[in-house]
């Protein structure tokens, strides 16, 4: 965190100053480790084993916050007897379908529930990264649940969890992660001791957790711990996701994703959502409890915001104009389609896939096979010059004179050269003023898209073709100002907030939205950011002049709540769990919820409220159900649906691993998304043969001094000089083993590429003892490319493409490689080297690791050699 | 009438320099125990002051690719990797199958590197032998043992480890040798008690560079003049915080009234001692030290020289009266010798 | 070259170091100090300035004792020396065009400022004294004839004035170097003015022995002896200042200092033996001049070496702290 989020780390230092104990788990000792009270070196890709160990430690020692767990989580809920666990199936859950490597989730459901008919099949969910829809709400579950609040029922979630994690002993943590038991116990003890009525603990993770073939389950495991310890919805608790850029939260809220619309409404699917009714029903799940019952309202307001007067009840608010998904349109599928000539044009806005995305060579070859490419960036980045400067020029794979792609480079305005909002990880919107005019032809994204739309609409103005109506009927009337005819960002924010169509009055809350076309709003969760016609995101009252929650700094969605599910900060009766951790509570005198923050609960619903048996929507949430966007109002220790790779997290090895999974016969995530394409070769892993050809684990991440693919840092001398060369960090032990010297050269080889780097031999990297073997890990920064003031090979070239099934995020934080001293070969010799490695690893014919390995004996019986 | 301590000893420099009723002396307290090595200070300083680039070479000195304070780097973050206990923390590599520490070897390699900082003398290469001892740990100069790592019990391997980081800067001495020896009056004492070079006066004589006991001030090539931290004199004048302190995310760099900073620093040291960090100590805070106390002082976690600081600097002008006396004596000797030679018997 | 040194072999002549030089910490072995940025211009100036000062003294001595040829040699050498000095000093500046900024202030805490004013006084006096030597070339009559007549007395006054400032010019440079953080220079502050005074006299005597008629060279031989006495007396101390003496005895700087000593001894002895031999006088003169050059460059180099190695900064300071 100090390494990649130094500004945020000030609060960790502040907490430390006040006596907090900081643990840092990382494959190498970083600037964060230097300030931590305890550093745990871990084998990359084994976090679920570590966290699972903590879960087991909590359950075995009964250290969970029992009152919280019973009342606020689904620990007491009973699961159908059809469910079978990984314990009994060598690492698979019940319902696995070998044909398409997905789970039928029917056997995971709660006792007495039938499977939701509106749920898409698992394969379609995986194709469309449907897990992303759950960022703001849980997957659907219907009706009442059967509960055993003594937690003794063998099929209650608590007991299932206990059995599921029973293998995750301290010994197993040591064996899988390489973390000595004492270190693990120190962590588990501190975490549990600092949770409960009087204390809360926080879990902070960064992108390193998401970029795994089991990334969603990493975070699920963290959430399970935080629920068991009562650390959710309470001050000082939570699972904090540190994002990789300034407004990544904002770019999922108002998404730059193929499968989502603003406010986590799913992008319609051509087959499943032919009509507005079908679409909104698939979101609302009629009969389900919680706030998603109002999905029709949110959908209609969005359509009204798009098509304004043209959108009426009679034409389903122009739902027919909406584009539809036909399958996987994710970035990696598109790149492979580019290589295959199926994609003709591409827009790149503030993204540098030639350096920043997994399998850089595939990215560059794909872009070299387009008709046109528009790159908007601050500097002429690698993704704009690959056709003349890519490493593939040297190998002869791209010939500049023959490269067919016409590249349009358009200079972009930086964040200080345009106004708008950033939404950070706390869902806090902060308005940004323009400090200086952009230089030369540089323009904001808002300017670009507004005028692009305007020009297209002008060209089509006389068109009578039905297909052009969607564009011509759009409301495209933002006021502009200044010599550059810049659209007003505040006007856009007002539309996002929503307003009453007749009067133009901005809405104060999404509860004011109507589903009859009388209101419109571009993103229902953002409603309130422009309440009273005031830009609430621009509020800057200093923290010293207001309460510790600082509600008048910026604006947080939803409804300016700073902690989600904060009803959980009070006990079931509505009283604070403790004076020390008081946050939101029930005031019996006024009969309302009150506290420091905006209560995340219906303001006047008393703790004693119990819904009618068949109540749905918001009315179905009881007065002691804090998790109001979950169908059952509970925090899910166990996910009966919606998580494609299992109801509970399970340790699977990374797709490329030198180690046989010590926990189960199942080696890797059986439902991972795999692209079979000639360019996407994968290194063999146990139980496959030849995995020893790539014996070392490599992981990549950031340096404080650079930003992502380097477009904003390698181009600026004041940053470039601070980390001026590509390097690889190796332990003294690996250096001795491979003959590497400090400041000498080394190159790393995978079945995709070989990249070279200067060697930093450092005590900060240590080998680990894993399952009786010594595992060496190396680390590289992924910032370098071939443009800019400082250049170097790109670490991301080393990766293949394998994705998490829930959200289609690539496994680009861990892989296997070989490490060799000296510089890499040049020109065609480089290709020969990689081909030679592929031959040696038996991968010349594109053998992919088997999805299921439960028929191969597990490691414990064949490892002792 | 010059102050009795005009050349040495405790002194409030601004009144001594002739300011009537100056504002309180301002300074920096750099608390290295909370430094995260982000280098935001280096970047903010360069941005605000328009300081040029200082070389694009990987130095191999841990994460320090700046190397030293130079005319083109007015803040410099030092990084020291040490196989030593961090005091407050659990031993970092306890129980891991690793061998002895390599930091002495890598330090020796890093010592040989250099980069064209665009300044003179810039960043001279160091002595590898001296570098190998920087960790203050057990002397170790060979490569790790030839036996496969991890085969042993692990007891012989490294367990303790700490990574020191420290943002260095001009000390703005009470008795600033650079200022005293400047023959043009380019270097001057501000009303805030800080020391600033006037770029329109400096003629690049280089005297200040040899006079500085901390090796701070340096000459810019092609420009010829001497440059160093101004403690953002232009910002101070309008009540703003210096750029580096403003940018520091963890309050490692604190700017304020020097007397208040000294109190805060003393409290911080006491607190660290309480928390099991006995090696925490202040550096440059004492008005009775060899330079009359620094305007920019530090909390360190090891000996000053580990960070490249002199352990006991004394302003050279302390001895200036004695020097002039010796020169006078030598001059007289010279004159007498000549007289005697010519007055000797004629041949 | 400065490390892995068995403890106590050198540099502890007489006194034990409480912290052995081999065990000190540093930051990647990099210098704590910035090595002086002065180019060899300054080492050259140390020589030319000393030569000018010594020559002015010789000129005045010759003037007062009636040795006109020697006087002429002294005055011209003084002018040549001071002219070269001025050139070298200006040339060494980072911004030569701003050399006159030196004249903005007069600061006793800045030996360079003091030196500037000494030079400002000495230079014109030496110049007038030397130019006055041209009087015999002027016509007998007219305005120039008047000049021809008044030049010698003015020259004599100027020559005496230059001689009065000359000792300061020759010795302030010792303070110039010593008033720095450079360990081997600063610690040598008691000796440097004497070394430089001696070296200045040696150089000037050397030039005199080469250029002046042997008949007038007797004082020069005595002066060479005196110079050697002063320089050896002062220089002896250079090796008695603990660890920071090391650069005066080792490495390139040590070799230069040693060469200076040997040449001084050879030059002085040869001078004493030369009597009326022009050849021997010239040889001894050359040796003396070379000695001065070597000594100046040696001292200059020693300072740079001491600033470049953190050992010379850290160890004595550690030693001081542990006392």
The pLDDT tens digits for A501-532 are: 999 999 999 999 999 999 999 999 999 999 99
Q: Do C94 and B224 touch (CB under 8 A)?
A: yes
Residues A416 and A436: their CA atoms lie apart, in Å, by 7
Q: Do C222 and B340 touch (CB under 8 A)?
A: yes
pLDDT tens-digit series, residues B196-240: 999 999 999 999 999 999 999 999 999 999 999 999 999 999 999
Q: Do C38 and B210 touch (CB under 8 A)?
A: yes
pLDDT tens-digit series, residues A76-91: 999 999 999 999 999 9
pLDDT band at A696 (very low <50, low <70, confident <90, very high): very high
Subunits close to C (at least 3 CB pairs below 8 A)? B
pLDDT tens-digit series, residues C12-57: 333 333 334 457 899 999 999 999 999 999 999 999 999 999 999 9
Residues A599 and A562: their CA atoms lie apart, in Å, by 9
Least confident of A448-457, A830-839, B95-104: B95-104
Could you tell me which of A716, A708, A9, A442 has the C-alpha nearest to residue B47?
A716
Cβ atoms A126, A805 nearer than 8 A:
yes
Measured between beta carbons, the chain B residues lying within 8 angstroms of C171 are 327-328, 330-331, 334
Residue A475 is predicted with a pLDDT of 95
Asked if B238 has any chain A CB less than 8 Å from its own CB, the reply is no
Residue B135 is predicted with a pLDDT of 65
Residue A259 makes CB contacts below 8 A (sequence gap 6+) with A128, A129, A130, A132, A133, A266, A267, A325, A329
Closest Cβ opposite residue A774 in set B42, B105, B150:
B150
Nearest Cα of chain B lies from the Cα of C306 at a distance, in angstroms, of 11
- Residue A861 pLDDT > 80: no
Closest Cβ opposite residue B323 in set C61, C178, C230:
C178
- pTM score of the predicted model: 0.93
DSSP SS3 for A691 = helix
Nearest Cα of chain B lies from the Cα of A265 at a distance, in angstroms, of 37
∠ CA A137-A138-A140, rounded to 5°? 120
pLDDT tens-digit series, residues A364-418: 999 999 999 999 999 999 999 999 999 999 999 999 999 999 999 999 999 999 9
Strand bridging mode A815-821 / A696-701: antiparallel
Residue B133 is predicted with a pLDDT of 82
Among A703, A763, A767, A777, which would you mutate to test the B interface (most chain B Cβ atoms within 10 Å of its Cβ)? A763
Closest Cβ opposite residue A774 in set B37, B43, B149:
B149
Residues A36 and C168: their CA atoms lie apart, in Å, by 61
Q: Which residue has the tokens 């700073």?
A: A562
Residue B102 makes CB contacts below 8 A (sequence gap 6+) with A732, A735, A742, A761, A762, A763, B143, B144
- Residue B137 pLDDT > 50: no
Measured between beta carbons, the chain C residues lying within 8 angstroms of B212 are 33-34, 181
Strand bridging mode B119-120 / B218-220: antiparallel
Residues A186 and A194: their CA atoms lie apart, in Å, by 12
Cβ atoms A304, A519 nearer than 8 A:
yes
In this prediction, residues A694-704 reach a mean pLDDT of 97
In this prediction, residues B95-123 reach a mean pLDDT of 93
- Residue B148 pLDDT > 50: no
Q: Residues of chain A with pLDDT > 90: what percent? A: 87
DSSP SS3 for A830 = helix
A297-315: buried (b, 16+ CB within 10 Å) or exposed (e) per residue? bbbbbbbbbbbbebbeeee
Residue C288 makes CB contacts below 8 A (sequence gap 6+) with C202, C203, C205, C206, C209, C224, C227, C263, C264, C267, C268, C271
Residue B85 is predicted with a pLDDT of 84
Residue A116 is predicted with a pLDDT of 58
Subunits close to A (at least 3 CB pairs below 8 A)? B
Establish whether chain C is in contact with chain A, requiring a minimum of 3 CB pairs below 8 angstroms.
Answer: no
Residue A478 is predicted with a pLDDT of 95
Q: Which residues pair with A818 in a beta bridge?
A: A749
Residue C91 has phi, psi (to 5 degrees) of -60, -30
Subunits close to B (at least 3 CB pairs below 8 A)? A, C
Q: Do B337 and C230 touch (CB under 8 A)?
A: yes
Residue B234 makes CB contacts below 8 A (sequence gap 6+) with none
Q: Do B338 and C201 touch (CB under 8 A)?
A: yes
Instruction: Find, in chain C, the residue whose alpha carbon is nearest to that of B324.
Output: C175
Closest Cβ opposite residue A38 in set B89, B109, B158:
B89
Residues C111 and B320: their CA atoms lie apart, in Å, by 9
Q: What is the DSSP letter of C181?
A: S
Residues B191 and A323: their CA atoms lie apart, in Å, by 67
Q: Which residues pair with B294 in a beta bridge?
A: B173
Instruction: Find, in chain B, the residue whose alpha carbon is nearest to that of A18.
Output: B271
DSSP SS3 for A499 = strand
Q: Do C310 and B127 touch (CB under 8 A)?
A: yes
The low-confidence residues of chain C, meaning pLDDT below 70, are 1-22
pLDDT tens-digit series, residues A780-817: 999 999 999 999 999 999 999 999 999 999 999 999 99
Residue B156 is predicted with a pLDDT of 60
Q: State which H helix or E strand residue A489 sits in.
A: helix A489-497
Q: What is the DSSP letter of A289?
A: B
Could you tell me which of C50, C62, C47, C41 has the C-alpha nearest to residue C211?
C62
Closest Cβ opposite residue B344 in set C101, C219, C310:
C219
A70-105: buried (b, 16+ CB within 10 Å) or exposed (e) per residue? bbbbbbbbbbbeebebbeeebbbbbbbeeeebbbeb
Residues B295 and B302: their CA atoms lie apart, in Å, by 20
Among C24, C34, C194, which would you mutate to test the B interface (most chain B Cβ atoms within 10 Å of its Cβ)? C34
Measured between beta carbons, the chain B residues lying within 8 angstroms of A32 are 36
pLDDT tens-digit series, residues B83-106: 888 877 899 999 999 999 999 999
DSSP SS3 for B167 = strand
Measured between beta carbons, the chain C residues lying within 8 angstroms of B170 are none
Q: Which of residues 30-89 of C touch B (CB under 8 A)?
A: 30-38, 53, 57-58, 60-62, 64-65
pLDDT band at A720 (very low <50, low <70, confident <90, very high): very high
Closest Cβ opposite residue C226 in set B306, B309, B337:
B337
- DSSP state string for C50-89: HHHHHHHHHHHHHHHTT-HHHHHHHHHHHHHHHHHHHHHH
Residues A659 and B304: their CA atoms lie apart, in Å, by 46
Residues A577 and A597: their CA atoms lie apart, in Å, by 16
Nearest Cα of chain A lies from the Cα of B95 at a distance, in angstroms, of 6
Strand bridging mode A96-97 / A102-103: antiparallel
Q: Do C170 and B332 touch (CB under 8 A)?
A: no
Q: State which H helix or E strand residue A96 sits in.
A: strand A96-97
Closest Cβ opposite residue C28 in set B7, B61, B204:
B61
Nearest Cα of chain B lies from the Cα of C14 at a distance, in angstroms, of 24
Q: Do B126 and C218 touch (CB under 8 A)?
A: no
Residue A190 is predicted with a pLDDT of 96
Among B78, B94, B98, which would you mutate to test the A interface (most chain A Cβ atoms within 10 Å of its Cβ)? B98
Burial class (CB in 10 A: 0-12, 13-18, 19+), B130: buried
Asked if B105 has any chain A CB less than 8 Å from its own CB, the reply is yes
pLDDT band at A141 (very low <50, low <70, confident <90, very high): confident
Nearest Cα of chain B lies from the Cα of A178 at a distance, in angstroms, of 8
Residue C20 is predicted with a pLDDT of 42
∠ CA A545-A546-A552, rounded to 5°? 110
Q: State which H helix or E strand residue A205 sits in.
A: strand A203-205
Nearest Cα of chain C lies from the Cα of B153 at a distance, in angstroms, of 31
Residue A259 is predicted with a pLDDT of 93
Residue A241 has phi, psi (to 5 degrees) of -95, 115
Could you tell me which of B133, A593, B338 has the C-alpha nearest to residue C314?
B133
Count of H helices and E strands in chain C?
A: 11, 0
Q: Which of residues 251-270 of C touch B (CB under 8 A)?
A: none
Residues C313 and C323: their CA atoms lie apart, in Å, by 16
Nearest Cα of chain A lies from the Cα of B45 at a distance, in angstroms, of 10
CA distances from A640 to A72, A647, B292 (A): 16, 6, 71
Beta carbon pairs, B and C, within 8 Å = 317
pLDDT tens-digit series, residues A97-132: 999 999 999 999 999 887 655 566 888 888 888 887
Residue A403 makes CB contacts below 8 A (sequence gap 6+) with A368, A387
Q: Do B129 and C4 touch (CB under 8 A)?
A: yes
Cβ atoms A62, B190 nearer than 8 A:
no
Nearest Cα of chain A lies from the Cα of B38 at a distance, in angstroms, of 6
Three-class HEC string of A326-353: CCCCCHHHHHHHHHCCCCCEEEEECCCH
Q: Do A768 and B96 touch (CB under 8 A)?
A: yes
Instruction: Find, in chain B, the residue whose alpha carbon is nearest to that of C115.
Output: B183
Q: Do B311 and C314 touch (CB under 8 A)?
A: yes
Asked if B15 has any chain A CB less than 8 Å from its own CB, the reply is no
Diameter of chain B measured on Cα atoms: 90
How is residue B101 written in tokens? 């520490």
Q: Which residue has the tokens 């005045």?
A: C60
Residue B136 is predicted with a pLDDT of 52
Measured between beta carbons, the chain C residues lying within 8 angstroms of B217 are 34
Asked if C315 has any chain B CB less than 8 Å from its own CB, the reply is no
- Residue A38 pLDDT > 80: yes
The per-residue pLDDT of chain C, averaged, comes to 91
Residues C78 and C59: their CA atoms lie apart, in Å, by 8
pLDDT band at A860 (very low <50, low <70, confident <90, very high): low
- Angle between helices C278-308 and C142-178 in degrees, nearest 10: 40
Residue B3 is predicted with a pLDDT of 81
Measured between beta carbons, the chain B residues lying within 8 angstroms of A13 are 34, 36, 250-251
Closest Cβ opposite residue B305 in set C26, C201, C234:
C26
Q: What is the CA radius of gyration of chain C?
A: 22
Measured between beta carbons, the chain A residues lying within 8 angstroms of B155 are none
- Residue A144 pLDDT > 80: no
pLDDT tens-digit series, residues C271-312: 999 877 889 999 999 999 999 999 999 999 999 999 999 999
Q: Do C197 and B205 touch (CB under 8 A)?
A: no
Could you tell me which of A428, A390, A409, A79 has the C-alpha nearest to residue A246?
A428
Q: State which H helix or E strand residue A432 sits in.
A: strand A428-432
pLDDT tens-digit series, residues A528-564: 999 999 999 999 999 999 999 999 999 999 999 999 9
Q: Which residues pair with B310 in a beta bridge?
A: none
Could you tell me which of A861, A452, A864, A853 has the C-alpha nearest to residue A668?
A853
Q: What is the DSSP letter of A632?
A: T
- Residue A335 pLDDT > 60: yes
A677-710: buried (b, 16+ CB within 10 Å) or exposed (e) per residue? bebbbbbbbbbbebbebbebbbbbbbbbbbbbbb
Q: Do B130 and C171 touch (CB under 8 A)?
A: no
């Amino acid at each position: 965190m100090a390494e990649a989020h130094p500004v945020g780390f000030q609060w960790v230092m502040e907490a430390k100053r006040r006596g907090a104990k900081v643990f840092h788990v990382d494959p190498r000792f970083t600037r964060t480790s230097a300030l931590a009270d305890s550093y745990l070196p871990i084998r990359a890709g084994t976090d679920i084993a570590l966290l699972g160990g903590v879960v087991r430690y909590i359950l075995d020692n009964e250290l969970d916050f029992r009152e919280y767990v019973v009342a606020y989580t689904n620990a007491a809920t009973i699961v159908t007897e059809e469910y079978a666990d990984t314990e009994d199936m060598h690492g698979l859950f019940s319902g696995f379908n070998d044909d398409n490597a997905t789970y039928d989730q029917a056997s995971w459901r709660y006792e007495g529930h039938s499977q939701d008919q509106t749920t898409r099949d698992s394969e379609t969910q995986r194709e469309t990264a449907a897990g992303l829809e759950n960022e703001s709400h849980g997957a659907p579950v219907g009706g009442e649940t059967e509960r055993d609040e003594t937690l003794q029922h063998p099929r209650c979630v608590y007991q299932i969890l206990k059995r599921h994690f029973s293998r995750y002993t301290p010994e197993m943590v040591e064996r899988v992660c390489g973390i000595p038991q004492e270190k693990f116990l120190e962590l588990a003890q501190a975490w549990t001791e600092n949770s409960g009525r009087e204390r809360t603990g926080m879990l902070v993770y960064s992108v390193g957790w998401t970029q795994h073939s089991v990334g969603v389950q990493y975070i699920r495991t963290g959430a399970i711990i935080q629920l068991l310890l009562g650390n959710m919805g309470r001050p000082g608790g939570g699972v904090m996701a540190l994002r990789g850029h300034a407004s990544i939260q904002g770019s999922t809220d108002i998404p730059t994703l193929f499968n989502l619309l603003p406010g986590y409404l799913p992008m319609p699917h051509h087959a499943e959502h032919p009509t507005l009714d079908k679409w909104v029903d698939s979101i609302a799940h009629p009969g389900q409890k919680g706030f998603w019952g109002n999905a029709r309202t949110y959908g209609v307001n969005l359509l009204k915001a798009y098509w304004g007067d043209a959108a009426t009840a009679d034409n389903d608010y122009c739902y027919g104009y909406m584009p539809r998904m036909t399958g996987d349109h994710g970035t990696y599928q598109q790149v492979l389609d580019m290589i295959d000539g199926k994609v003709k044009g591409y827009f790149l806005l503030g993204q540098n896939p030639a350096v920043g995305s997994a399998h850089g060579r595939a990215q560059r070859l794909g872009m070299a096979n387009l008709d046109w490419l528009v790159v908007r960036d601050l500097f002429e980045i690698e993704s704009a010059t690959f056709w003349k400067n890519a490493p593939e020029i040297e190998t002869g794979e791209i010939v500049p004179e023959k490269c067919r792609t016409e590249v349009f480079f358009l200079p972009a305005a930086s964040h200080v050269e345009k106004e708008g909002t950033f939404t950070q990880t706390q869902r806090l919107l902060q308005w940004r003023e323009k400090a200086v005019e952009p230089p030369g032809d540089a323009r904001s994204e808002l300017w670009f898209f507004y005028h692009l739309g305007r020009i297209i609409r002008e060209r089509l103005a006389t068109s009578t073709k039905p297909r052009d109506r969607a564009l011509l009927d759009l409301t495209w009337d933002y006021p502009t100002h200044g010599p550059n005819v810049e659209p007003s960002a505040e006007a856009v924010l007002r539309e996002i907030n929503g307003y009453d169509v007749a009067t133009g009055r901005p809405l104060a809350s999404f509860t004011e939205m109507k589903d009859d076309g009388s209101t419109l709003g571009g993103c229902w969760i953002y409603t309130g950011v422009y309440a009273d016609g005031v830009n609430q995101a621009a509020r800057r009252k200093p923290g010293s002049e207001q309460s510790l929650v600082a509600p008048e700094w910026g604006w947080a969605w939803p409804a300016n709540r700073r902690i989600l599910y904060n009803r959980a900060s009070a006990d079931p009766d509505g009283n604070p769990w403790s004076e020390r951790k008081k946050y939101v509570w029930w005031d019996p005198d006024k009969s309302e919820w009150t506290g420091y923050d905006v209560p995340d609960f219906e303001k006047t619903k008393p703790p004693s409220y119990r819904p009618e048996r068949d109540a749905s929507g918001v009315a179905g949430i009881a007065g002691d159900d804090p998790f109001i966007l979950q169908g059952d109002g509970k925090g899910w220790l166990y996910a009966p649906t919606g998580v494609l790779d299992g109801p509970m997290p399970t340790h699977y090895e990374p797709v490329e691993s030198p180690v046989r999974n010590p926990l189960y016969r199942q080696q890797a995530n059986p439902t991972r998304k795999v692209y079979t394409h000639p360019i996407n070769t994968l290194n063999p892993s146990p139980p496959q043969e030849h995995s020893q050809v790539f014996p070392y684990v490599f992981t990549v991440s950031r340096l404080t001094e650079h930003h992502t693919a380097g477009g904003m840092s390698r181009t600026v001398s004041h940053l470039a000089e601070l980390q001026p060369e590509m390097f690889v960090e190796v332990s003294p032990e690996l250096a001795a083993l491979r003959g590497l010297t400090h400041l000498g050269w080394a190159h790393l080889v995978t079945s995709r590429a070989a990249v070279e780097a200067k060697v930093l031999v450092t005590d900060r990297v240590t080998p680990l003892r894993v399952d009786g073997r010594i595992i060496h890990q190396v680390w590289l920064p992924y910032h370098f490319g071939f443009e800019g003031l400082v250049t170097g090979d790109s670490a991301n070239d080393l990766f293949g493409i394998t994705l998490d099934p829930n959200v289609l995020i690539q496994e680009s934080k861990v892989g296997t490689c070989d490490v060799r001293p000296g510089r890499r070969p040049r020109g065609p010799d480089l290709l020969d080297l990689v081909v030679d490695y592929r031959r040696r690893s038996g991968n010349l014919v594109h053998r992919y690791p088997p999805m299921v390995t439960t028929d191969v004996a597990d490691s414990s019986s064949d490892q002792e050699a | 009438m010059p102050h009795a301590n005009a050349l040495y000893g405790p002194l409030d420099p601004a009144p001594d320099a002739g300011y009537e009723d100056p504002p309180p002396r301002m300074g920096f307290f750099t608390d290295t125990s909370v430094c995260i090595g982000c280098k935001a200070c280096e970047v903010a300083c360069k941005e605000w002051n328009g300081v040029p680039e200082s070389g694009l070479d990987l130095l191999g000195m841990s994460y320090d690719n700046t190397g030293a304070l130079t005319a083109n780097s007015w803040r410099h973050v030092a990084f020291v990797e040490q196989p030593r206990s961090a005091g407050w923390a659990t031993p970092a590599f306890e129980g891991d199958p690793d061998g002895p520490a390599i930091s002495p070897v890598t330090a020796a390699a890093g010592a040989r590197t250099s980069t064209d900082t665009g300044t003179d003398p810039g960043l001279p290469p160091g002595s590898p032998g001296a570098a190998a001892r920087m960790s203050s740990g057990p002397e170790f100069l060979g490569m790790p043992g030839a036996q496969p790592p991890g085969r042993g019990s692990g007891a012989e391997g490294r367990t303790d480890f700490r990574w020191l980081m420290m943002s260095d800067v001009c000390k703005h001495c009470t008795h600033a040798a650079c200022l005293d020896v400047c023959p043009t009056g380019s270097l001057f004492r501000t009303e805030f008690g800080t020391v600033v070079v006037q770029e329109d006066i400096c003629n690049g004589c280089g005297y200040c560079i040899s006079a500085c006991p901390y090796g701070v001030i340096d000459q810019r090539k092609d420009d010829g003049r001497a440059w160093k931290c101004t403690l953002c004199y232009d910002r101070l004048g309008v009540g703003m915080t210096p750029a580096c302190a403003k940018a520091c995310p963890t309050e490692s760099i604190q700017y304020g009234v020097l007397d208040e900073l000294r109190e805060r620093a003393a409290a911080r040291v006491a607190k660290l001692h309480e928390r099991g960090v006995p090696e925490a100590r202040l550096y440059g805070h004492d008005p009775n030290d060899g330079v009359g106390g620094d305007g920019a002082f530090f909390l360190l976690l090891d000996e000053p020289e580990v960070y490249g600081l002199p352990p006991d600097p004394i302003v050279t002008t302390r001895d200036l009266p004695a020097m002039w006396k010796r020169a006078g004596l030598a001059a007289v000797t010279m004159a007498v010798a000549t007289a005697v030679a010519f007055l000797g018997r004629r041949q | 070259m400065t490390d892995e040194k068995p403890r106590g072999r050198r540099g502890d002549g007489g006194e034990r170091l409480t912290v052995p030089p081999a065990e000190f910490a540093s930051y990647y072995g990099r210098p704590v100090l910035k090595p002086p940025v002065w180019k060899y211009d300054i080492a050259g100036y140390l020589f030319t300035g000393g030569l000018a000062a010594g020559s002015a003294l010789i000129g005045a001595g010759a003037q007062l004792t009636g040795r006109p040829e020697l006087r002429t040699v002294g005055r011209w050498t003084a002018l040549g020396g001071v002219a070269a000095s001025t050139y070298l000093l200006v040339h060494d500046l980072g911004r030569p065009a701003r050399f006159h900024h030196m004249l903005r202030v007069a600061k006793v805490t800045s030996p360079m400022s003091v030196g500037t004013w000494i030079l400002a006084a000495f230079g014109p006096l030496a110049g007038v004294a030397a130019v006055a030597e041209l009087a015999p070339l002027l016509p007998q009559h007219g305005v120039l004839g008047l000049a021809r007549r008044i030049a010698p007395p003015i020259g004599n006054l100027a020559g005496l004035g230059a001689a009065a400032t000359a000792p300061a010019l020759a010795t302030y440079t010792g303070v110039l170097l010593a008033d720095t953080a450079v360990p081997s220079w600063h610690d040598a502050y008691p000796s440097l003015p004497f070394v430089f005074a001696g070296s200045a006299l040696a150089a000037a005597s050397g030039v005199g022995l080469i250029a002046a008629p042997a008949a007038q060279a007797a004082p020069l031989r005595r002066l060479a002896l005196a110079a050697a006495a002063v320089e050896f007396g002062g220089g002896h101390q250079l090796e008695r200042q603990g660890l920071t003496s090391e650069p005066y005895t080792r490495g390139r700087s040590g070799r230069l200092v040693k060469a200076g000593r040997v040449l001084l001894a050879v030059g002085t002895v040869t001078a004493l033996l030369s009597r009326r031999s022009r050849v021997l006088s010239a040889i001894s003169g050359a040796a003396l001049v070379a000695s001065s050059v070597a000594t100046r460059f040696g001292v200059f180099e020693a300072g740079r070496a001491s600033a470049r190695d953190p050992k010379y900064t850290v160890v004595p300071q550690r030693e001081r702290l542990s006392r």
